[in-house]
Amino acid sequence: MMGKTVALFLVLGIVMSGCVKEKSSIQTFVKTDYAEEKTVGPAGGNLFFLEYHVYADFLENAVSKNTNITVTKVASYPEREGVEFMDVYYFEPEGMSFEKPVKIGINYNSLEVPENISDEDLKLFMYYDGEWREIEDSQPVGSYIAGHVNHFCGIASGYAMEYVSNPDTSDDRNSSQDDNNSAVWTFEVPVRIYEYEYGLHNISHPFTIHGFCAYIAWDPQPYVRFYQIYFHYNGNEPEGWIYGCDWLERDKNYCQPQEFFFREDTPYYIANEEDYPVADARGSIYVGELEPHLYDESLQGLHGLPIAYVSQEFKDNGDIDEIAQAGIIKEMHDYMEEYFDGWTATVRAVA
């Protein structure tokens, strides 16, 4: 942490008549048209709002009856000098108080946090009596900032920054070897290609499948709960399709091209079953795949994710001789190498 005071806050604002000094203050919060609604009852439960990357965790008997909880994005909200808000949300019903504290979590993108900001600087704030107030127990939890509230007045969320200039980050620190035993750490891995072959030969129509898999993988990190992953094309933009049919059938009318799924700089997640859901709705989650099934036995036990496959089935005693098969295999290899040349992924491990 640098000598000058540095603060980055994820802001949680609360607005309603009774929560602000003047009823007219609510007019400064303007909601968008789309609202997402969930229901919670006396049994409690974790409400996960996928559209807005927000959750509300209710303890048993926090509410006395079934209650609809609504989240709406806010387009206009009170400003604060020295603070830049990003996403702002509105929680309803207004004026609702809880018998037990409710845990609120707001997803944030760690790549958008300046590198000179520590986890201790990430906070939640409540808008009360006309000003933003810190929620004392708020702190980062995985890819969320979380803290407890005792009532709803409508909730706005975003994050604000008051920070000094970013330090020089030209040195290479993207390595899992640099883990400082913190709860969250980040490293970078390349996209790699491996070759595989398998087949069935004791059947009426024996065959062999030869293919290539693009993947990312790394040594298992200690006590990891889930990984957050961002892909980087590094100037090598993908084509519109990558796999779907046998290599020799890729141009056939019945072989529909499949758009490449993994978007650049979009969050994707790998998680254990007990940590689902953790996904940002803009990305995707792969549950129970910390150790993915990969045909290459040398990769077993690693953590990671297969990205794409291309393959071709060769029938035993078919009309494609060994020389022609070798040429097809080389075509697939060259295609995959060119497609993923230079690709990397930033992996954020959350323990």
Q: What is the pTM of this model?
A: 0.48
Structural domains of the chain, with CATH: 7-162 (2.60.220.30), 176-350 (no CATH)
Judge whether 341 and 234 are in contact, CB under 8 Å. Answer: no
pLDDT value at residue 41: 93
pLDDT value at residue 146: 83
pLDDT value at residue 190: 93
212: closest CA among 80, 333, 91, 54? 333
Contacts of 113 (CB under 8 A, 6+ apart): 8, 122
pLDDT value at residue 39: 92
Contacts of 327 (CB under 8 A, 6+ apart): none
Number of Cβ atoms within 10 Å of the Cβ of 313:
15
d(CA 84, CA 77) in angstroms, rounded, equals: 11
DSSP β-ladder status, 155-162 and 7-14: antiparallel
163: closest CA among 342, 322, 4? 4
Record the tokens describing residue 294, joined without a space: 């990969």
Omega prior to 93 cis, within 30 of 0: yes
pLDDT tens for the 351 residues of the chain, in order: 333 333 344 444 443 334 544 443 445 778 888 888 899 999 988 888 877 778 888 999 999 999 999 888 877 777 766 666 667 777 888 777 889 999 888 877 777 766 666 677 777 777 777 777 777 888 877 677 788 988 776 555 545 454 433 333 333 333 333 333 335 678 889 999 988 888 887 887 888 889 888 899 888 876 777 888 889 999 898 776 665 678 887 777 666 555 566 788 777 888 776 665 554 434 566 766 777 777 677 777 888 888 888 888 888 877 888 889 899 999 989 988 998 999 999 988 876
d(CA 14, CA 6) in angstroms, rounded, equals: 24
pLDDT value at residue 228: 84
pLDDT value at residue 100: 92
Q: What Å distances lie between residue 290 and 37, 155, 176, 191, 275, CA to CA?
A: 32, 34, 16, 17, 12
